[in-house]
Amino acid sequence: MKKYSYLLIIGVVVSALLACGGGGDDEPDPGPSPYVPTPTPTDKTSAVSFTASISDFRTRASGSSFEDRDEISVFPVVGNVVGENNRYVCNKGIFSATLGITKKESDKLAYYAVSPYSLTAKMQMDFAVQTNQTKWNQYFASDLMTATVASTTSFTPDLQFNHRMSRVCVDFVGDNASTLPGRVSRIVLKDMHLQATVDIKADEYVASGQKGNVTMYFYEDCFYGIIPPQTIPKETSFLVVTLDGQDYPVYFEEDIVFKSGYDFWIDLSYNEGEGDGQIVVFKGQISPWRK
């Protein structure tokens, strides 16, 4: 009798606001000209620093908080005028800059912030995720976050960051779930839009540009991949699992909508029968959103 083994994909989507933080690509210090409100001769100006936190979704190995040397872009706003991109660096939970934003005590400023820092960050821009997210820095560089602070006189405004891309999470379930992470060498998100057109002021993040594959990041027995918000048509093999050295495409019987700021969990189970070890791949299902 032949033995048939089954790779059963059960998709379970849990909606949660994305929340990752941290470092970024190594880029030279641009030394941007800081935004400085014009003081009167008797006014004293002081530097502005920031505290920051991250919404509930957890992508950082350390949890939903920033770490020392994490970098962000901060833009001061007066009325409808947005100032220049300022590079701020985290130290013990406070973001500060040698050449940053200064203001007098009575000045009211609003702020936009972007993580990770980029020399080219601006209110309207194109943002691309990494195709190889197997390393932490590559994975983090794909996780666009933004924060907004309403007009304030504070010298230490608090930045509440939210994730703007989508995250796909693959977990293992079943009696042999503990053995599967060692047998699955990689998982690839196939034919994904890799770029998003971003409008921070309008809070819009739309997939655009060329398509490609994204190799997912492995951490604590799960795989994670960050992609721009996009819709995958039904019957499309957008997930490829490499199990025991062999690739297995995964299909879904309905359109998959990856929304900005949401987590999408997919549970994989592998049932081994008797015989020669042939593998059957079942089409996965995704449950309704849960908030």
CATH of residue 230:
2.60.40.2630
Q: What is the CATH number of the domain that holds 79?
A: 2.60.40.2620
Q: Are residues 66 and 12 in the same domain?
A: no
Regarding whether 187 and 159 lie in a shared domain, the answer is no
CB contact at 8 A, 27 and 272? no
Is it true that the peptide bond before 116 is cis, omega within 30 degrees of 0? yes
- Could you say which of 163, 195, 215 is where a domain stops? 163
Considering the domain architecture, whether residues 274 and 229 belong to the same structural domain is answered as: yes
Q: Please name the residue ranges forming H helices in the chain.
A: 136-140, 180-183
pTM (whole model) above 0.85: no
Contacts of residue 202, Cβ cutoff 8 Å, sequence gap at least 6: none
Q: Are residues 158 and 192 in the same domain?
A: no
Q: Are 134 and 217 in contact (CB under 8 A)?
A: yes
pLDDT score for 250? 83
The pLDDT averaged over each successive group of 10 residues in the chain (291 residues) is 42 39 41 46 70 60 69 94 94 90 93 95 96 94 94 93 91 85 94 96 94 96 94 90 88 86 84 48 40 35
Give the closest residue to 32 by CA, choosing from 105, 71, 84.
Answer: 84
Do 188 and 94 lie in a common domain?
A: no
The residue written with tokens 């994975």 in the block is: 139
- How many domains, in total, are found in the chain? 2
In terms of residue numbers, what domain contains 188? 4-17+165-281
Question: CA–CA separation, 286 vs 135, rounded Å?
Answer: 28
Q: Do 52 and 155 belong to one domain?
A: yes
Same domain, 11 and 63: no
Q: Tell me 48's DSSP state.
A: -
* pLDDT for res 43: 57
What is the reported pLDDT for 16? 38
Report pLDDT for 269.
78
